[in-house]
Structure 1
């Protein structure tokens, strides 16, 4: 009887104590999840910031090399137009071969000249060289910036 009276009086207190303990345990669990979430958020924000910075640098790199490439193309196009109208000349290291057994004539001393097709091919080649040079330079700089160098020990 004493036991019954004691338990009937203390039961609400044990229940309250168990409820408070459960709430404290749930609060502790929620707090540790909040801390983990904040750490993950901080890491994600740093990664996003790094990615955005990398994208900005890549865009600047692309803009710079595109500008250089366009300038090279304009220079080659200007040279090609100047050669076509006679303002500039292409220098060749060539000699004119005389027909064998033919007598020397006045026009044998004419300077050698490229054919129109060879001249177009020359300017196409210069343009292609300029494009590849700028592209390669841009790629090399991109690799230097974006790809970390590994030490010999890691390999």
Structure 2
């Protein structure tokens, strides 16, 4: 009878220790999930803000409140005309080129924000694992 009591007591302590270890793992995982969720929310908001800024700029260019400047080289006309240089039409992007510009700008911002997010995500995971 005494041997059975020691056996069950030993089993109890082993199971209790396993339960504590598992509880600690669950706690660490929940902490990690909370940190990643906060990071995700922050970067989702930053990405939304960046997209809103691009949309605002796009609208301003479309309405004419702002002008889109692109570095370009325009070759001079070899034909002489009576018009002065100030009367010549200004070079502008086509609508398709303007759309491509904003699409590329959006992609660049998204890639930058995704890279920042992934770098911070890795740091959060590594910081939580070392604790």
TM-score (norm 2): 0.88
Aligned partner of 2:103 in structure 1 is 124
Provide the rounded CA distance (Å) in 1 between the counterparts of 2:55 and 2:84: 35
Higher relative contact order (CA 8 A, sep 6+): 2
- Give deviations 1:51-71, integer Å, cap 9, x for gaps: 000001000000000000000
Q: Find 1:142's aligned residue among 118, 121, 124.
A: 121
Provide the rounded CA distance (Å) in 2 between the counterparts of 1:82 and 1:39: 65
Provide the rounded CA distance (Å) in 2 between the counterparts of 1:27 and 1:95: 93
Matches within 5 A, 1:65-80: 65-80=43-58
Q: Does the Cα contact within 8 Å between 1:72 and 1:130 map onto a contact in 2?
A: yes
Matches within 5 A, 1:80-99: 80-99=58-77
What is the CA distance between 1:144 and its match in structure 2?
1.2
- Give deviations 1:106-140, integer Å, cap 9, x for gaps: 57633221111111000001100110000000000
Q: Does the Cα contact within 8 Å between 1:65 and 1:138 map onto a contact in 2?
A: yes
Larger Rg computed on CA atoms? 1
Matches within 5 A, 1:49-68: 49-68=27-46
Moved more, 138-147 or 89-98: 89-98
Matches within 5 A, 1:17-28: 23-28=1-6
SS of 1:147's equivalent?
A: helix
Provide the rounded CA distance (Å) in 1 between the counterparts of 2:32 and 2:98: 43
1:103 aligns with 2:53: no
Contiguous gaps of at least 5 residues in structure 1: 1-22, 149-155
The Cα RMSD (Å) is 1.6
Aligned partner of 1:114 in structure 2 is 93
Provide the rounded CA distance (Å) in 1 between the counterparts of 2:73 and 2:89: 10
Query: In the comparison of the two structures, how many residue pairs are matched?
Result: 125
